Amino acid sequence: ASPVWSSDGGFVLTILSLSLQPILLSLRRGQATVTYAQSLLGAPETRLTALDNGLRIASEETGHSTCTVGLWIGCGSRYETEKNNGAGFFLEHMAFKGTKKHTQMALEQQVESMGAHLSAYTSREHTAYYMKTLAKDLPKAVELLSEVVQSNALSEADIEQQRNVVLRELEEVEGSLQDVCLDLLHATAFQGTPLGHSVLGPSQNARTLSRQDLVDFIRSHYKAPRMVLAAAGGVTHEELVGLAKQHFSGVSFEYEDDAVPVLSPCRFSGSEIRMRDDDIPLAHIAIAVEGASATSPDIVPLMVANSIIGSYDITFGGGKHLSSRLARLASEESLCHSFQAFHSSYSDTGLLGIYFVTDKHHIDDMMHWSQNAWMNLCTTVTESDVARAKNALKASLVGQLDGTTPICDDIGRHVLNYGRRIPLAEWDARIDAVTPRMVRDVCSKYIYDKCPAVSAVGPVEQLPDYNRIRSAMYWLRF
């Protein structure tokens, strides 16, 4: 489907081939086009069911011949202590090294014989194990996932072998300066709190985590009320619920001595951290203020605000014709190689920021204009700015759901965060309700005269003093 802009500011999806059966469209035979709003209304319903032990099952049926099914768990590095930080990431590596029923080789053969793809990831608040496979193999996929999560062998030999793998990954991540910069940003912004932990954990923990540490982490956090079995594609909800009852009814919902883990509040600290290395060719810098939580009503206006700032890369075309003011400046004045506005939202807080990569001679200018862009959000946002940002944001939300795997991930995270899956039509209505006044008011609340957190890696000698950066959060408004 190719997007065509319409006179009302939305866009129409022109169908090139009806045999493609786009996920978001519900078409009658012979219908050539549908509007964006009609496509949202035609999106399949996400159904939700809960088992007696509290585990939730959520699915979206699209009629595809393939599907993605996975288990999303409400735990991540935020639930770890300094002693066991990295346990969740270590378990991700152990997930496919064999279960009590299948050796690693047997597990791999089972997955390969299905032509499936088995994967996992860990974030600060979530852990996911999922499989993409043919729809007809859904029962086997759910069975294998239940084994991976509930019956991991965790052999001492495999644990020792994976230590070296994890250590090598830590070295590789150190080569990704964007990851390093954003991890440092969390470390300084949420210093002294669990959100300051990196997902991978320190190398020292990778060397010392024991089998008992991993077992204790599973027992403490892998509880049924914190789990969502999500699926998207060629699945039926009734079948998925039946499979969940068969394989996950035994997951415990009780905690030893009723010691239910409670997340401690994560305090935001205006602060900075710099890692100067003049041998690195470009400086990687992030500046952020405390943002909104995932469930905050301010989240959508902030999403629109971030869309106004947008992103830029030196390879982009457009130059002075780019819609983002900061992108136009970056292109015309060669301020940076790239930048992106971001908002990392968590259950009770967030980080609203701008990350950019530039040479050492333009650090000061890029920091100035980045903060200026923030101040413009608080003061001079126009109707046309908001209209363009809304269209870009809507296109981004739709574009992210380009297959069964991202849809399944969307379902799992939404049910953990909100208790339900928020449909695209509802997001669309919330975005449409945003006005320039709302953007100015919400951005003033989060940005104006706030203490920022700053992280910088590379040749950062020219990065302004923190007090100067802080004062600009006030004076740039005038």
The single residue listed with the structure tokens 């006005």 is 435
Residue tagged active-site, from 60, 61, 92, 147 = 92
Q: DSSP state, 98?
A: B
- What is the Cα gyration radius of the chain? 24
d(CA 234, CA 140): 14
The answer to whether residues 48 and 56 touch, using CB atoms and an 8 Å cutoff, is yes
Q: 307-336 in b/e burial notation, b at 16+ Cβ within 10 A?
A: bbbbbbeeeeeeeeebbbbbbbbbbeeebb
The answer to whether residues 408 and 64 touch, using CB atoms and an 8 Å cutoff, is no
Q: Which residues contact 435 (CB under 8 A, 6 or more apart)?
A: 386
In terms of Cβ atoms closer than 10 Å to its own Cβ (0-12, 13-18, 19+), residue 254 is: exposed
Q: Which residues pair with 343 in a beta bridge?
A: 352
Q: Which residues contact 448 (CB under 8 A, 6 or more apart)?
A: 375, 378, 473, 474, 477
The answer to whether residues 99 and 152 touch, using CB atoms and an 8 Å cutoff, is yes
Distances (CA, A) of 391 to 197, 308, 385, 467: 35, 10, 10, 37
Q: What is the DSSP string of 338-383?
A: EEEEEEEE-SS-EEEEEEEEE-TTSHHHHHHHHHHHHHHHHHT--H
Amino acid at 22: P
The single residue listed with the structure tokens 């980080």 is 351
Helices (H), 222-272: 237-248
By C-alpha distance, which of 281, 82, 95, 114 is closest to 187? 82
* Helices vs strands, H then E, count in the chain: 17, 15
Q: Is 92 a catalytic residue?
A: yes
Write out the catalytic residue numbers.
92
